[in-house]
Amino acid sequence: MHRRDLRGLISRPTVKEAQRYRSSIDSHIDNLLRHSDEKLLDEIEPILVLGIHHEQQHQELLVTDIKHVFAQNPLYPVFREREIDVVSAKTDPMHFLHFEETTAEIGHEGNGFSYDNEGPRHRTLVGPFSLASRPATNGEYLKFIEAGGYTRPEFWLSLGWMAVNEQRWEAPLYWEKRDGAWWQFTLSGLRPVDESEPVTHVSYFEADAFANWIGARLPTEFEWERVALDWAIEGNFVENEQFHPRASTGQNRQIRQMFGDVWEWTRSAYSPYPGYRAAPGAIGEYNGKFMCNQYVLRGGSCATSRTHIRRTYRNFFQPEKRWQFTGIRLARDSK
């Protein structure tokens, strides 16, 4: 197997070769569906639908892979030209909204497609808590950096502190300091860090350390879903072709940006729901075999398709990963 972090160095097929391959696959699938009887179609349909949703995941990975590969280039190539704001948008202060204790129905209801890790639907007691009105911004994270956050072990999990020192982290991925100012690489090239935008490309370790420094914590995935159930799935998704998180502006004390912009780390380990059983065969390996040493993320990002996300969608990554559009929403225990 080729090292995952170096896969960007492997040559890719040409556009024409990729189009020819796609045309061939489409033709074979079309022939299969046209010449299958009803019984076989019943067997094929769930596999085909799963494959389509899996392809949407790969479309998202294409965006993040392009960014990762371009970031290795010292010339900082531009994927999509974007006008850079000279003045940062004014972001309203972060507020914490209180939510009372409740017994929440967690998991997919069964209408429409969902991955098997979104069920079975079950009842979970969610205690009283407060959730931040928006994701943490670059400006707020800069204060953590300036306070010596990456040099103070008291804020970090033990494995996180090892990662900081082994990888020599000093800031989020794609950030670099030039002449005393922080810049970040984006799919629109290298540009100054905009303090009003949601911080992104941070690991679970960094998100947890930041939360500890500020006197808060990360939400559980059940707290996150309990809040998300009351909000429309709207936001900055890949269909907008921004390919970068947008600032939250205005004076609004309500919950914002639950969907799109950045995947939000939760403090919940990626584990099976009560009653979960992996399906037999290869399909059962799709999610079940990864339920170890990973943390759940919620909400989608600027690289996720709007048609792909759900309130119950459970993304998951190892705690040290930073290349995905991952961000931070804070929570607090109610006193």
Q: Domain segments of the chain: what residues?
A: 4-71, 96-333
Q: Where are the alpha helices (DSSP H) in the chain?
A: 15-34, 38-71, 138-146, 158-167, 204-214, 221-228
Sign of the four-CA dihedral 84, 65, 203, 135: positive
- Residue 207 to residue 205: CA distance in whole angstroms: 6
3-state secondary structure of 323: coil
Mean pLDDT, consecutive 10-residue stretches, the chain (335 aa), reads 77 93 96 93 92 94 94 92 64 91 94 94 97 97 98 98 97 96 96 96 98 98 96 95 88 84 98 93 86 97 97 97 97 90
The structure tokens listed for 322 are: 């930073």
How many angstroms separate the Cα of 309 from the Cα of each of 19, 113, 179, 277, 289?
27, 11, 40, 23, 22
Q: What residue type is 330 in one-letter code?
A: L
Q: How much is the pLDDT for 88?
A: 55
Beta bridge partners of 295: 269, 317
- Residue 67 to residue 184: CA distance in whole angstroms: 12
pTM recorded for the entire structure = 0.93
Sign of the four-CA dihedral 284, 287, 291, 292: positive
- Residue 59 to residue 4: CA distance in whole angstroms: 17
Residues in CB range of 113: below 8 A, 6 or more apart? 49, 50, 53
User: How many degrees, rounded to 5, is the angle at CA 5 between CA 12 and CA 70?
Assistant: 55
- Residue 121 to residue 189: CA distance in whole angstroms: 43
Report whether the peptide linkage leading into residue 120 is cis, meaning its omega lies within 30 degrees of zero: yes
- What DSSP character marks residue 69? H
Q: How much is the pLDDT for 93?
A: 87
Residue range 96-333 forms a domain whose CATH class is alpha beta
Q: How much is the pLDDT for 111?
A: 86
The DSSP string of 206-274 is HHHHHHHHHT-BPPPHHHHHHHHTTS---S--GGG---S-----SS--S----SSSSEEEEEEE--PPT
Q: How much is the pLDDT for 230?
A: 87
